[in-house]
A and B are shown apart, each in its own frame.
Chain A
Amino acid sequence: MKKKIAIIDYGLGNVLSAQQSFNKVIKEYNLSASTTITKDPNLIDSSTHVVLPGQGAFKSCMSGLEKVSGMVDSLEKFALKNKKPFLGICVGMQLLAIDSEENGKHLGLGWIKGHIKKMPTKKLKMPHMGWNEVIPKLKTKSRLDFKKSDYYFVHSYYFECDDEKNILAHTNYGINFASIVFKENIYGVQFHPEKSSDQGLGLIKSFISL
């Protein structure tokens, strides 16, 4: 079956970079898949995979998403009811949490139990920007395959999971934080796989295969 990957465009996040990285993987491995950048909730239903990028502040991303009429409902149907593969990137990952403390308290999608908190600085430079090691947890029920390697991060807030079992990988910057979260078919990555060279493309390839 041909995979149909929808990349959600709600005005925040580098959708083009996400699309180009997916297209590169599709071409390189000759996969039967196609990508579309869309803001049409009706297209979500007919997609097999959804990617939610996100950049900037949590609040502007969440309200940007809510402003697209019918989008949150469509995404919930896609990910929670139909349980199809969903990938949130950077702030797109953070939106999966219950809420965020970035510039006041703001509600997120609440699909994965946890809260977005500010990274403790401990004299470290902020944002946490650059390549850092993503260390997979040994035993999980996840089917997403990725390499223990360095991936590219840019963020000052992190996902604090309520339940340890939703953590798929962690990274250290002053503290150990969840760099990949998951729950069944729903995945969120704090780093940018689309900017993380071959290992990033490898993760994308595995996501497409889900």
Chain B
Amino acid sequence: MLKTRIIPCLDVKDGRVVKGINFLDLVDAGDPVKQATYYSQNGADEICFLDISASLENRKTMIDVVSKTAEEVFIPMTVGGGVSSIENIRSLLKAGADKISINSAAIKDELFIKKSSEHFGSQCIVVAVDAKKIGSNWIVFSHGGTVNTNINALKWLENIQKLGAGEVLLTSMDRDGTKSGFDLDLLKAATNILDIPVIASGGIGTKEHFFEGVSYGGASALLAASVFHFNEFSINDIKNFLLKKNIKVRINE
């Protein structure tokens, strides 16, 4: 049976991890390769790097991070943050990334999704969607959740599937950073209308939240950052918790 994936996300700025694991003396909290290796040896099903560098120049360091990680880490690696051209995607894939997450560039030009999935295959194109509830609708926000695009999020999700996205990374801006759990109504609405897998993100604070995301929200994968980095619980803690609740997960042997 297919397992629910648990994905730690590492924010990388100018080639260094921001808010890395800070509980192990052995691990350099700023070294992306060491962080990714640690997670892959401790139950992560995939690794996600999000480049939050401010300038284009500094984003080039990401290529180096990706290629060094690919030499050491043998689980799938998703890279996102500021990806805006076919050339960007090509260089990240060539460096060893397996999937590329695109966000603002897809909103600016939706055909970018079509072009990139036709070019590289749907399996490596993840579209990240940041949504916020306004009135009774969820609206897409771009540029790290700062710009209101006035696009209806559920319509946008249907659209990106049609355009060839292989997977969706869905973040609730209302819940992100609050530790109050996923926006389950948003997640459920999204997984109901989509045939492609949805990675849920934004709001995880407890183990119960992971369970809800799968059982009620229908997520195929769960992505979190700070709860892992600050060792509130480990990936294996969550997996053991989910197993007890009859959610199938991959256990390291």
Contact = CB atoms under 8 A, between A and B. Distances in A.
Contact of B98 (A126, A130, A195): A195
Interface in A22-56: 23-24, 55-56
Interface in A1-38: 14, 16-17, 20-21, 23-24
A149 interface: yes
Max count, chain B CB within 10 A of own CB: residue among A131, A194, A197: A131
B5, B75, B94, B96 — which one has the most chain A CB atoms within 10 A of its CB? Answer: B75
Contact of A150 (B93, B96, B250): B250
A191 to B, nearest CB: 11
A150 B196 contact: no
A132 B2 CA distance: 5
Contact of A14 (B74, B98, B122, B253): B98
A136 B124 CA distance: 28
A127 B250 contact: no
A152 B123 CA distance: 13
A27 to B, nearest CB: 10
Contact of B96 (A16, A57, A125, A154): A16
Chain A residues touching B, majority SS: mixed
A128 to B, nearest CB: 7
Given A16-B94, A197-B74, A57 B195 contact: no
Q: Which secondary structure dominates chain B's binding surface?
A: loop
Contact of B195 (A16, A56, A121): A121
Contacts of A20: 70-71, 74, 96
Contacts of A152: 75-76
Given A126-B195, A127-B196, A173-B2, A16 B70 contact: yes
B70 A128 contact: no
A199 B220 CA distance: 22
Contacts of A126: 195-196
B74 A194 contact: yes
B121 A55 contact: yes
A87 B167 CA distance: 28
Interface in A128-165: 128-133, 149-150, 152, 154-155
Contact of A56 (B71, B94, B98, B120): B120
B2 A131 contact: yes
B115 interface: no
A201 interface: yes
B3 A131 contact: yes
B84 to A, nearest CB: 22
Contacts of B26: none
Interface string B88-125: 00000111101000000000000000000000111110
A100 interface: no
- Of the candidates B2, B94, B166, B197, the one having the most CB atoms from chain A within 10 angstroms of its own CB is B2
B123 A127 contact: yes
Residue in B1, B74, B98, B122 whose Cβ sees the most chain A Cβ within 10 Å: B74
Contact of B74 (A121, A133, A196): A196
Contacts of B124: 55
B40 interface: yes
Contacts of B183: none
Given A154-B123, A195-B76, A129 B3 contact: no
B211 to A, nearest CB: 18
Contacts of A196: 74-75
7 contacts: A16-B94, A24-B71, A55-B123, A56-B120, A129-B166, A132-B3, A195-B74
Given A131-B250, A155-B123, 13 more contacts: A17-B96, A17-B98, A20-B74, A20-B96, A24-B74, A121-B195, A131-B3, A150-B250, A152-B76, A172-B1, A196-B74, A200-B74, A201-B74
Interface of A: 14, 16-17, 20-21, 23-24, 55-57, 121, 124-133, 149-150, 152, 154-155, 172-173, 192, 194-198, 200-201
Interface of B: 1-5, 40, 45, 70-72, 74-76, 93-96, 98, 120-124, 166-167, 194-198, 220-221, 250, 253
